[in-house]
Amino acid sequence: MTMEAIPAAPARSHHKRRPWRPDPLTALSAVIVCAVLALTVWGSALAPQPPMRQDLFGAALPPGGEHLLGTDQLGRDILSRTLAGARTAVLGPLIIALVTAVFSTCLGLLAGYIGGITDSVVSRLADVVYSVPPLLVAIVAVGVLGGGYTLGIVVLSILNIPAGLRSIRAAVLEQKALPYIESAWVIGKSGTHIMWVHILPNIRPIALTTFFLAFTYAFVDLSTLSFLGLGVAPGTSDWGRMVAESRVLVFQNPWAALAPLLLIVVTAVCANLLGESLEGAAAEKGKAR
């Protein structure tokens, strides 16, 4: 639910870096996350039947025969809808994570390195935004203004920034105190140069962690919006939306809800594991020094 600041240390000399060798669980999560990403691109193409085709005579069928996972109340093929539903479920959170990572890195660098008034303004603003629950604000804002999926992405992007900003800022402050920054300053490098060329590479693991954590939260929150009927438009094949629409079918064909639901759980868990293993690797590096 929240991201925490983690200590960082400068990367050791670049040429001595060992190749990243993940443990089996992390490797498996990476493979699954890649598979889900592939689904967002080619999911609709892989679908055995058009995901929107209705067949009212074959409604709410249990798994078997022509429909591997059965059909929903409008007779649409669950397997096809699940494959096609990856797109809206994953693309939005990806955008949110990207925006969050970029903005929190830039703002965190500025606030941490420049300090003074810039830091106070940015940090206090972040504190205010940080104290509100993103999902709740998104529910009210999207519900009232009626922007649907797009507005959901905008709102969640803004609300996820403070958490990442805080950890980046903490890491920048830590770097700033180290001798190499002073040396760079002494030989006359500009502030911009120091921030982008010297500090940024050393806080990269934290920026990456921010990206993954933001993705996990955004994935959960955005699909919850769709579940509540506030995200994607009605009828869209979207995992969250499918769970909501199939909730009434739990007695006839529970797979209509379970198929998208299990994919949501697996994706969320794997993204989380990946993010955590990166976070752990960053912390480990810090300890090794």
Partner 1 sequence: MAIYLLKRILASLLVVLVVSFLIFLCLYFTPGSPEQAILGPTAATPQTLAAVRKTYGLDDPLLVQYWNFLRGIPTLNLGRSYQSGQSVLEGIGSGAAVTLPLAVGGFFVATTLGICGGVAAAKRRGHLSDRLMGAAAIVAASTPAYATGVLLLVVFGVDLRWFPVSGNGSDVPSRISHLVLPVITLGLVGAATVMRRTRITVAAALERDDVAFARARGLPRREVLFRYVLRHAAVLILTSAGVVLIYMVAATAVVESVFGLSGTGTYLVSAINSKDIPAVQGVAVVITFLVVAINLVTDILYALIDPRIQRGASAR
Cβ nearer to partner 1, comparing 38 with 132: 132
Instruction: Select 194 or 270, whichever has its Cβ closest to partner 1.
Output: 270
Q: Report, in Å, the least distance between residue 244 CB and partner 1.
A: 8
Cβ proximity to partner 1: between 92 and 240 the closer is 240
Smallest gap from Cβ 259 to partner 1, in A, equals 12
Closest distance of CB 112 from partner 1, Å: 14
Q: How far is the CB of 86 from partner 1 (least distance, A)?
A: 15
- Kindly tell me which of 198 and 241 has the beta carbon lying closer to partner 1: 241
Q: Of the two residues 107 and 273, which places its CB atom closer to partner 1 in the complex?
A: 273
Q: State the nearest-atom distance from the C-beta of 202 to partner 1, in Å.
A: 24
Q: How many CB atoms lie within 10 A of CB 268?
A: 17
Residues lying near partner 1 in the complex (CB under 8 A): 1-2, 128, 131-133, 135-136, 139-141, 143-146, 216, 220, 223-224, 227-230, 240, 243-244, 247, 250-251, 254, 257-258, 261, 264-265, 268-269, 271-273, 276
